Amino acid sequence: MTDSEPAPAKLNLALHVRGRRDDGFHALETLFAFVDRGDVVSVEQNDALSLTLTGPFAHDLGGGDDNLVLLAARQLQSQAGIAQGAALTLDKRLPVASGIGGGSADAAATLRLLDRLWRLDLGIEGLMPIAVALGSDVPACLLGRTAIGTGRGERLVPIANDLAGTPVLITNPGIALSTAAVFAHWDGIDRGALAGGEVSDMLAHGRNDLAAPARALVPQIGALLDALIAAGGAHARMSGSGATCFALYDSEASRDRAAQSLAREFPQIWTMACRLT
């Protein structure tokens, strides 16, 4: 019997870089949110661990031992002390290296899925140490709900989302962007903390401190942000280290008109119409 788990796209509604840490990471304050669409991880019982890739972006992703899905599975296998395997399938619907947590969401979905398959009953709390070791965004993706992230993003405080259900248009220029390269081009200026209040307040008063270095590396980001605004989007912003951008809309109809407008102006881009959860 096949079981599956969604791996929804992650958005940084705000991303404030507060400084460089001695361990090489950066001190962040970020507002994580999720949408109702993304990748899907499926599993069947199997003696060994295996991974099959499907979906429109499968060809951009390596299925080798460094794939985060397999890394997550092996880490859980080791922690649980079991030899049982699993036949995993990743339906890759999100672009790779795009700032919306695709690989991190896939790893998190794998942990939740195998926790069920192997009847470990670890839950989010028990799986969290593995998530932290796998990457800075994996803990937020494991939690899978709106939260404020600090540290390198792994210290999470869940919060209610007063924007849940808001239509969102997500778009990517089709250019993979290295997180390390973007952080390396950050100017080192601390521009202040996240605002308090509701999610809508933090979004309205927030920013993405990685947008400027990302736009310097991929100028198309600026063009997409301008197009989202011109098409009626509110709070148009880059997510994570890019190059994916998003904007919020007051209705599905206005969002879908914006998607059509962007498709005419930029025929090669990827877009996804969705809602905040």
CA–CA dist 257, 253 (Å, integer): 6
Give the tens place of pLDDT for each residue, 176-185: 899 999 999 9
Tokens of 230: 């011109």
pLDDT confidence band for 61 (50 / 70 / 90): confident
What does DSSP assign to residue 168?
E
Backbone angles phi, psi at 150, to 5 degrees: -130, -170
Would the pLDDT of 128 be above 80? Answer: yes
Check residue 219 and give its pLDDT.
95
158 contacts: CB under 8 Å, gap ≥ 6 = 143, 145, 146, 147
Find the DSSP H helices in the chain: 68-80, 102-117, 123-134, 138-143, 179-184, 199-205, 211-217, 220-230, 252-265
Give residue 115's pLDDT. Answer: 98
- Report the distance separating Cα 8 and Cα 188, nearest Å: 31
With 0-12 / 13-18 / 19 or more C-beta atoms within 10 angstroms meaning exposed / middle / buried, residue 84 is middle
- 63 — pLDDT class (breaks 50, 70, 90): low
Which residue matches tokens 């401190």? Answer: 209
Q: What is the pLDDT of residue 277?
A: 98
How high does pLDDT run on average in the chain? 96
d(CA 51, CA 132): 22
Domain final residue pick, 158, 179, 205:
158
State phi, psi for 211 to the nearest 5 degrees: -65, -45
Same domain, 150 and 72: yes
Q: Which CATH number belongs to the domain containing residue 256 in this structure?
A: 3.30.70.890
Residues forming the active site: 10, 137
pLDDT tens digits along 265-276: 999 999 999 999
SS3 of 59-114: the string is HHCCCCCCCHHHHHHHHHHHHHCCCCEEEEEEECCCCCCCCCCHHHHHHHHHHHHH
Q: How confident is the model at residue 196 (pLDDT cuts 50, 70, 90)?
A: very high
What range does the domain containing 195 cover? 167-275
Question: Last residue of a domain, which of 158, 187, 218?
Answer: 158
**Are residues 23 and 99 located together in one domain of the fold?**
yes
Judge residue 146's burial from the number of C-beta atoms within 10 Å of its C-beta, 0-12 exposed, 13-18 middle, 19 or more buried. buried
Q: How does pLDDT run across 197-215, given as a tens digit for each residue?
A: 999 999 999 999 999 999 9
In 3D space, the residue among 104, 94, 71, 1 whose CA is nearest the CA of residue 43 turns out to be: 1
44 and 153 fall within a common domain? yes
Q: Which residues contact 89 (CB under 8 A, 6 or more apart)?
A: 41, 42, 43, 51, 52, 53, 54
Residue 65: predicted pLDDT: 75
137 and 212 in one domain?
no
Give the end of a domain, one of 108, 139, 158: 158
Q: Are residues 174 and 149 in the same domain?
A: no
pLDDT of 254 above 80? yes
